A and B are shown apart, each in its own frame.
Chain A
Amino acid sequence: MMIDALPLSVTLPLIGAFAVTVSPGHARGPGLLAALLTAASALSVTAAVWSDGVLRADLGGWGVPLGIALEADGLSAAFLAMANVVALAISVYAGGYFKQESARHFWPLWLLLWSALNGLFLATDLFNLYVTLELLGLSAAALGALTGTREAVAANLRYLLVGLLGSMSYLLGVALVYAAYGVLDIGLVAEAIEPGPIAWTAMALMIGGLILKAALFPMHFWLPPAHANAPAPVSAALSALVVKAAFYLALRLWLDVFAPVLNEAAANLLGTLGAAAVVWGSWRALRAERLKLLAAYSTVAQMGYLFIAFPLLVATPPGLARDNLLAAVVLLALTHGLAKAGLFLAAGMVQKTAGHDRIDDLGGAAQALPAATFAIGLAGVALIGLPPSGTFLAKWMMLEQAMILGLWWWLVVMMIGTLLAAAYIFRVLSRAFNREPTPYRFVNDARTELPALLLGLIATFGLGIAAQPLWVLLEQGAFG
């Protein structure tokens, strides 16, 4: 008897999806069980990578290039752990959030999305990645429309179409790679690739498709309405995980496939778009009238920070400095995932209790929902990048590296983004606290408030004070 946690992390949610599809009336129990088992399996992958190094599974026993392999190195293990912690929190929250009718639609789609996420983080085959991207895109759009309002349906239809266009561009790149190099496994493609028009075109097509899906400015237009109008747990998943998965894949291709053909111009282009996203997204977040719209625009800005890393990574020679920079970017992505999920879950609580999420009318939310407000505060600390959050450490290291490289303009952009983030977070908090404090109870509905609170706590304290383990994890095959 032998159990391989790599395929298990992808297959368990599929089996769970079957169970909840077949018995829609009792979806919550099996759904939560599948969520628990999936998260346990995925976290065991991370733990195994941590202790034993890179894990690999040849599915079907054929081995590459004929078969498909799954692989977990430090980078995928880190994203996998974050995604599964967040997804588990979202599942617990959703167990209390969705009522009968929407629960029967939520659970199977949610487990399929989860399967796609785990599959994407573990995949090593370029075409298999296309299938996971489509599974992710279709289930995400369907979940986003679950509120059933016209805005939600229209916004998520647009999201679906943009996602399809992105996947098509990615697939065209894959076809070109297969035509030129005759293999699909990432490792084998990386060995075969050499600088030239083929590699550049394939890179432009694949990473171009992914930045559509990652909502990098100016391709962000679809994100705010889609994320702001989805049900709160879905918004959390979309903002914290789904766009992050597209970024992860772009980073993975950049580091592992296209490393030999990288040039500064492409990196600077991505960095410039990222800088524009930081400024524009933060500004729109500051001007947003609704809490969930604010959170969605903040995602646009935070994705921008991640792309600023590309020019820094290209400019830094391999060595300790580059490893630290890479770890900082991953830390930023993970912290943002946790914090943004916490923020959306808490916002969902506010919306459900108050009946709206207009920021100007939030007065007294702190009194009615102390735990949710506290979670917003914690998530805010991590989004702004105040100590002791992981964002603080990550931004600090990126700023330091930018200074060393003399690339001061990235530094200016990151400072502006931080100031604007502080402004939009404090705008929310000042509204929430504008009444005399007479809190009744700190926690009102444990099932929905605790997940938000826990995510906020991990983002601010867990990944900030205890960031060192991330470096150990990334030692496993992610540092070059």
Chain B
Amino acid sequence: MIRPLEHIIIPLGLIAVGGLLGWSFFLAVTGEAGERLAAVALARVPDSGVSNPVTSVLLNFRAYDTLLELAVLLAALLGIWSLGAAAPGFQPAASVLDGMVNGFVPLLILSAGYMLWVGAYAPGGAFQAGALLGSAGVMLALAGHRNAGLPSEGRLRLLVALGVFVFAMTGLLLMVVGDGFLTYPPSLAKWLILLIETAATLSIGATLAAAYLGGRPAARPTTGETA
């Protein structure tokens, strides 16, 4: 059945929009833009404390964006918590699956640590590492762990807000000592970035796993499943 709005009017409007978009994009790409920021950014990568250009941009050149991004992640989780408690966990998985999960989760955590470390000079970094930690949590939740391997509420709250706190405090302390907000001294840049990334990885992992549970954690864990 053809519904006129859905199948004719909106698509026609969208084709018009698409034409305009495509035309503008064509002009933009074939215009004078050339290098854009690539040359500037790549030239400064050696001064950034890490050699992976994307990590340089994320944690140094545009670190302020990343700080606010962690705040977005925190806001989403706090919003999820304000909407209600987590649903009761899944049925405990069969022992075969459980064994598999128990073997797999440490592997994920290890690779998260690896990913965090190599992010300085190879593809990887806090977000990829955090995502791996988060998927370890999801896997535990699927295997029937009530809290996805997350700690009790008090410690979980610390964990999810840690990234924003460490990031913001680093920025402020650098400002107070006179370098400027989030302006790393070159000799310390590598270590400050690693510090921030470590805190961010923990927060991202915990936040994503907690978001998967879909509500605030149970007030008192009835079983001793805290990791």
The residues of A with any CB-CB pair to B shorter than 8 Å are 1-4, 7-8, 10-11, 14-15, 17-18, 21-22, 24, 57-62, 65-68, 105, 108-109, 112-113, 115-116, 119, 125, 127-128, 131-132, 134-135, 138-139, 141-142, 145-146, 153, 172, 176, 178-183, 196-198, 200-202
Contact across chains for A58 and B29 when beta carbons are under 8 A apart: no
- Residues of chain B at interface, number, CB under 8 A: 56
Please indicate which of the listed interface residues A17, A59, A125, A153 has the most CB atoms of chain B within 10 Å of its own CB.
Answer: A59
Please indicate which of the listed interface residues B25, B64, B157, B180 has the most CB atoms of chain A within 10 Å of its own CB.
Answer: B64
Contact across chains for A17 and B82 when beta carbons are under 8 A apart: no
B15 in contact (CB, < 8 A): no
Complex CA distance for A53 and B172, rounded to whole angstroms: 24
- Smallest CB-CB A-B distances: 7 pairs: A142-B79, A182-B36, A180-B28, A61-B183, A105-B82, A7-B181, A179-B28
The residues of A that contact B78 with a CB separation of less than 8 Å are 21, 105, 108-109, 112, 139, 142
What's the nearest-Cβ distance from chain A to residue B149, in Å? 20
Contact across chains for B31 and A197 when beta carbons are under 8 A apart: no
The A interface, classified by DSSP as helix, strand, loop or mixed, is: helix
What's the nearest-Cβ distance from chain B to residue A57, in Å? 7
Contact across chains for A4 and B165 when beta carbons are under 8 A apart: no
Contact across chains for A201 and B157 when beta carbons are under 8 A apart: no
Contact across chains for B64 and A196 when beta carbons are under 8 A apart: no
Contact across chains for A138 and B20 when beta carbons are under 8 A apart: no
Q: Do A17 and B175 form a contact, CB below 8 Å, given A68-B64, A179-B29?
A: no
Contact across chains for A57 and B72 when beta carbons are under 8 A apart: no
What's the nearest-Cβ distance from chain B to residue A202, in Å? 7
B8 in contact (CB, < 8 A): no
The residues of A that contact B21 with a CB separation of less than 8 Å are 172, 176, 201
Binary contact readout B168-182 vs A (1 if CB under 8 angstroms, 0 otherwise): 110110011111111
Complex CA distance for A18 and B172, rounded to whole angstroms: 14
The residues of A that contact B96 with a CB separation of less than 8 Å are none
Contact across chains for A18 and B161 when beta carbons are under 8 A apart: yes
Contact across chains for B75 and A135 when beta carbons are under 8 A apart: yes
Chosen A-B contacts, 9 in total, with CB atoms closer than 8 Å, are A10-B68, A11-B171, A60-B182, A66-B44, A112-B71, A128-B68, A135-B71, A145-B83, A180-B31
What's the nearest-Cβ distance from chain A to residue B196, in Å? 12
What's the nearest-Cβ distance from chain A to residue B76, in Å? 6
Q: Do A14 and B82 form a contact, CB below 8 Å, given A1-B177, A3-B176?
A: no
Contact across chains for B175 and A142 when beta carbons are under 8 A apart: no
The residues of A that contact B182 with a CB separation of less than 8 Å are 7, 59-60
Partner of B72, one of A7, A18, A131: A131
The residues of A that contact B40 with a CB separation of less than 8 Å are 65-66
Complex CA distance for A216 and B35, rounded to whole angstroms: 38
Contact across chains for B180 and A139 when beta carbons are under 8 A apart: no
B69 in contact (CB, < 8 A): yes
Contact across chains for B74 and A62 when beta carbons are under 8 A apart: no
B188 in contact (CB, < 8 A): no
The residues of B that contact A197 with a CB separation of less than 8 Å are 20, 23-24, 27
Contact across chains for B180 and A109 when beta carbons are under 8 A apart: no
Q: Do A58 and B79 form a contact, CB below 8 Å, given A131-B68, A179-B28?
A: no
What's the nearest-Cβ distance from chain B to residue A118, in Å? 11
B2 in contact (CB, < 8 A): no
What's the nearest-Cβ distance from chain B to residue A59, in Å? 5
B129 in contact (CB, < 8 A): no
The residues of A that contact B75 with a CB separation of less than 8 Å are 109, 112-113, 135, 138-139, 142
What's the nearest-Cβ distance from chain A to residue B7, in Å? 21
In chain B between 12 and 52, which residues have their CB closer than 8 angstroms to a CB of chain A? 20-21, 23-25, 27-29, 31, 33-37, 40-41, 44
Contact across chains for B82 and A146 when beta carbons are under 8 A apart: yes
In chain B between 153 and 207, which residues have their CB closer than 8 angstroms to a CB of chain A? 157-158, 160-161, 164-165, 168-169, 171-172, 175-184
Contact across chains for B65 and A128 when beta carbons are under 8 A apart: yes
Contact across chains for B168 and A58 when beta carbons are under 8 A apart: no
> With A57-B181, A142-B75 given, can you name 19 additional A-B contacts, CB distance below 8 Å?
A7-B64, A10-B68, A14-B67, A14-B165, A15-B169, A17-B74, A22-B158, A66-B41, A112-B74, A116-B68, A125-B65, A135-B72, A141-B79, A146-B82, A179-B29, A180-B27, A182-B36, A197-B20, A200-B24
What's the nearest-Cβ distance from chain A to residue B214, in Å? 14
Q: Do A22 and B157 form a contact, CB below 8 Å, given A11-B171, A67-B61, A112-B78?
A: yes
Q: Which residue of A lies closest to B169 (CB)?
A: A15
Complex CA distance for A48 and B131, rounded to whole angstroms: 42
Contact across chains for A2 and B72 when beta carbons are under 8 A apart: no
Complex CA distance for A21 and B70, rounded to whole angstroms: 14
Contact across chains for B72 and A138 when beta carbons are under 8 A apart: yes
Please indicate which of the listed interface residues A127, A139, A172 has the most CB atoms of chain B within 10 Å of its own CB.
Answer: A139
The residues of B that contact A61 with a CB separation of less than 8 Å are 179-180, 183
The residues of B that contact A178 with a CB separation of less than 8 Å are 36
Q: Which residue of B lies closest to A183 (CB)?
A: B37
Complex CA distance for A24 and B161, rounded to whole angstroms: 12
B60 in contact (CB, < 8 A): yes
Q: Do A17 and B71 form a contact, CB below 8 Å, given A2-B178, A59-B63?
A: yes
What's the nearest-Cβ distance from chain A to residue B87, in Å? 16
The residues of A that contact B34 with a CB separation of less than 8 Å are 182
Binary contact readout B100-133 vs A (1 if CB under 8 angstroms, 0 otherwise): 0000000000000000000000000000000000
Contact across chains for B175 and A180 when beta carbons are under 8 A apart: no
B81 in contact (CB, < 8 A): yes
Partner of A4, one of B81, B82, B161, B180: B180
Please indicate which of the listed interface residues B79, B165, B177, B184 has the most CB atoms of chain A within 10 Å of its own CB.
Answer: B79
The residues of A that contact B178 with a CB separation of less than 8 Å are 1-2
Complex CA distance for A176 and B82, rounded to whole angstroms: 37
Complex CA distance for A242 and B2, rounded to whole angstroms: 40
Contact across chains for A134 and B72 when beta carbons are under 8 A apart: yes
